[in-house]
Amino acid sequence: MLNSRNLLLLFILVFFTAPVFSLEKTSQLYHEGESLALKGDIDSAIEKFKKVVERSPCYCMGHYGLGKAYLYKYGMLDLAIQHLSEAVKLDRKLAKGHFYLGMACFLGRKYIQALHSFKNAYDNDDSLIEALYNISVIYDIMGKNYEAEVYFKKYITEKERDEDILF
């Protein structure tokens, strides 16, 4: 016989553990998609990432993986931007998400959005010095020579500092 205390325990068990099992399964699917992408099987990776997003639409890595995979497919740039934008909305500190969103926007000639994305990438992870170079290139394309030079010098300084570290 179920009394109110047992019902409450059952509810807590079902309500709070189901998302954990779901997230573990989603995370496993993400890693499978990532592995496929690294092997060059982008089409299969896209299918895995779609399942991740379908199961857990609020899991930023699903959108990140799907967006990044779409970058490798011709004609999928808008979908790449859509999913990478969603990834960084879900996790504002996802530096690699900002970086690849910047790449997608750059390729789509959305230079202002690309600038913001690359700046966010670098602000969240200052080891992503390539973002500084990309910012410099975008400013150069836009004819903003002073800004291009500032970011290029910053890139060179950071690159040299990175190369000075010996272990």
User: Model confidence over 108-155: pLDDT tens digits?
Assistant: 999 999 999 999 999 999 999 999 999 999 999 999 999 999 999 999
- Kindly state the tokens that stand for 55: 């199961």
pTM: 0.82
For position 17, what pLDDT does the model report? 43
d(CA 37, CA 23): 21
Q: How many CB atoms lie within 10 A of CB 51?
A: 18
Q: How many CB atoms lie within 10 A of CB 156?
A: 14
Round the average pLDDT of the chain to a whole number and report it: 89
As a whole number of Å, the end-to-end CA separation of the chain is 66
Q: Using CA of residue 31, residue 14, residue 57, residue 86, what is the dihedral sign?
A: negative
d(CA 28, CA 124): 26
At 61-88, the pLDDT tens digits run 999 999 999 999 999 999 999 999 999 9
- Kindly state the tokens that stand for 71: 């970058």
For position 114, what pLDDT does the model report? 98
For position 164, what pLDDT does the model report? 62
Q: Which amino acid is at 41?
A: D
Query: Which of helix, strand or coil describes residue 67?
Result: helix
> Is the predicted pLDDT of residue 55 greater than 90, yes or no?
yes
Q: What is the percent of the chain with per-residue pLDDT over 90, rounded to a whole number? A: 79
d(CA 6, CA 67): 44
Q: Which domains are assigned to the chain?
A: 4-109 (1.25.40.10)
Q: For residue 4, what pLDDT band results from cuts at 50, 70 and 90?
A: low
- Kindly state the tokens that stand for 87: 């990834």
Q: For residue 6, what pLDDT band results from cuts at 50, 70 and 90?
A: low
Q: For residue 26, what pLDDT band results from cuts at 50, 70 and 90?
A: confident
d(CA 6, CA 8): 5
Is residue 73 within 8 A of residue 51, CB to CB? The reply is: no
> Is the predicted pLDDT of residue 90 greater than 60, yes or no?
yes
- Average pLDDT estimate for 146-165: 89
